[in-house]
């Protein structure tokens, strides 16, 4: 199962945005914590596209649940929340769920050759 998310940096915050997100070690830790087998990140022009791959039938852990369990995740989200457009309030994690719904993309197709 594939899941994709996209969002943009606030104007003038593109470098900080990319610096925060472009960390393969953190990406691996988040993928494992969510239950994903793959975490692919695309960055460019102040936009991020992230694709997670989960085993078929898996029920992924939410980022909100991770933030509630791990203070390091919550701190990362706090840093990210101030540099993204139409973001969330890390002190009200329900807004993170809303943000994730807005940022998620619907799978149109997945073709394999």
Residue 58 CA to chain centroid, in angstroms? 18
For residue range 27-85, list pLDDT tens digits in order: 999 999 999 999 999 999 999 999 999 999 989 999 999 999 999 999 999 999 999 99
Per-residue confidence (pLDDT) for residue 78, from 0 to 100: 94
Q: Is residue 13 part of a domain?
A: yes
CATH of the domain at 88: 3.30.70
| Mean pLDDT, range 83-108, rounded to an integer | 94
Angle at the Cα of 20 (from 17 to 22), degrees rounded to 5? 100
Buried b (16+ CB within 10 A) or exposed e, 75-98: ebbeebbebbeebbebeebeebee
Range of the domain at 47: 2-105
Residue 92 domain-assigned? yes
What is residue 92's predicted lDDT score, i.e. its pLDDT? 93
Q: Does 32 map to a domain?
A: yes
Q: Is residue 9 in some structural domain?
A: yes
Q: Which helix (H) or strand (E) holds 49?
A: strand 47-53
Contact 16, 95 (CB under 8 A): no
The model's pLDDT over 32-44, given as tens digits with 9 standing for 90+, comes to 999 999 999 999 9
Number of compact structural domains in the chain: 1
**Residue 78 three-state SS:** helix
| pTM (2 d.p.) | 0.88
């Amino acid at each position: 199962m594939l899941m994709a998310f996209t969002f943009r940096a606030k104007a003038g915050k593109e470098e900080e945005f990319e610096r925060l997100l472009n960390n393969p070690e953190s990406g691996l830790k988040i993928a494992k914590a969510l239950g994903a087998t793959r975490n692919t990140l695309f960055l460019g022009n102040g936009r991020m596209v992230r694709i997670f791959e989960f085993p078929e039938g898996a029920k992924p852990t939410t980022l909100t649940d991770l933030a509630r369990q791990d203070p390091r995740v919550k701190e990362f989200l706090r840093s990210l929340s101030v540099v993204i457009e139409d973001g969330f309030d890390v002190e009200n994690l329900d807004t993170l769920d809303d943000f994730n719904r807005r940022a998620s993309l619907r799978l149109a197709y997945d073709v394999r050759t």
